[in-house]
Amino acid sequence: MKAVIFGSTGNVSKPLATKLAKDGVETVLITRSANKADKIKAFGAIPVVGDINDGEFLLNTLKGADSVFVLSAIPFTMSNIVKESNKQMEYIAETILQSKVPNVVYLSSIGAHRPGIGGLEFHYYNEQILKNKLNGVLNSLTFVRPAKFYSNLLVNLNDAKKGTVYSFLDIEKVHSYVSLDDMADIISEIMEHSPTDKLKVINIESERITIPQICELFAKVFNNPELKWEYSPVENTVNAMVEFGLKRDSVDAIFESLAPPLHDEFHEDFFHGKTEIVKGNRTVEDYIKNELKPIYDAI
């Protein structure tokens, strides 16, 4: 079996490629950087160097594959991320049609169940593009909508070391999170065993938790009982990312989805919808212990 994965050595693609390769799947990982080839080989995948926006390259890479894992590869340094992502997905869908890959998995997002959920709504439109072009033509098309990643908590470590965790998320609300390793397990199963459904949509989460509960876990695992939480306006995070070099309109659009005013709409399909929810088994506490504690101790 041959599987092709978009995303180089990114947060989602690396654990997925590692899992597939471990399962004995011929795993081809697309990367734009030849410098990452050795790293990709180290976790058992086959590096293919090129740009997914190069039609001939992408078509040749996809030919003969049994499954492909697709994600949007538009950087936040680009303006109008929704328009550019949708344009790219139109082209990717056409290339998939030409390649005749039978099983396609698209990495969507929580909140993609309808438009109007801030900047992350590009996932909603990407789903519509893929559905209109590929549904009924392929053996299987799956949209995977993960919750917020555990790895998002990495940004809190420097502040936690100083005694205060800042967040713009609503402390009174429950938030849905997912482990990247749980995602790899679930997505690899879909790629290795094509669903019988022509079109399948799933939500993936590992745990539901509040911000104060996360702060309590930080205090416990980091052995810092005085650790506290403070609200920080979303504008502070946006401004910091713009100063880092990202485009304001793209950053505004993304954080609009995550900020308190859209929280209920963003989570509604997870908490009250009819879409199938696939649960992982890795907890936030385990992630903090195994992944964040060593980094925290080294700061």
Give the DSSP H or E segment for 75: none
CA dist 207 → 14, 152, 210, 231, 280 (Å): 22, 14, 10, 22, 8
Q: What is the reported pLDDT for 35?
A: 95
Q: Measuring CA to CA, which residue among 58, 196, 80, 222 is closest to residue 138?
A: 196
Q: What is the pTM of this model?
A: 0.92
Q: What is the reported pLDDT for 259?
A: 62
Q: Which amino acid is at 47?
A: P
| Domains located in the chain, CATH noted | 2-148+179-204 (3.40.50.720)
Q: What is the reported pLDDT for 195?
A: 85
Mark residue 100 as left, alpha or beta (left: phi above 0; alpha: psi -120 to 50; beta: remaining): left
Per-residue pLDDT in tens (0 to 9) along the chain, 299 residues:
999 999 989 899 999 999 999 999 999 999 999 999 999 999 999 999 999 999 999 999 999 999 999 998 766 556 677 888 899 999 999 999 999 999 999 999 998 998 887 778 899 999 999 999 998 888 899 999 999 999 989 988 989 999 999 888 877 889 999 999 999 999 999 999 988 889 999 999 999 999 999 999 999 999 999 999 988 887 777 776 677 576 777 667 666 666 655 678 878 899 988 899 999 999 999 999 999 999 999 98
For residues 200 and 193, what is the distance between their CA atoms, to the nearest angstrom?
A: 13
Based on DSSP, count helices (H) and strands (E) in the chain, helices before strands: 13, 13
For residues 231 and 57, what is the distance between their CA atoms, to the nearest angstrom?
A: 47
Q: What is the reported pLDDT for 136?
A: 84
Q: Which two tokens stand for residue 196?
A: 């019988």
Q: Are 98 and 59 in contact (CB under 8 A)?
A: yes
Residue with tokens 């938030």: 175
Q: What is the reported pLDDT for 97?
A: 96
Report the b/e string of 55-71 with b at 16+ CB within 10 A.
Answer: eebbeebbeebbbbbbb
Q: Measuring CA to CA, which residue among 15, 100, 29 is closest to residue 65?
A: 100
Q: What is the reported pLDDT for 266?
A: 79
- 3-class SS letters over 226-278: CCEEEECCHHHHHHHHHHCCCCHHHHHHHHHHHCHHHHHHHHHHHHHCCCEEE
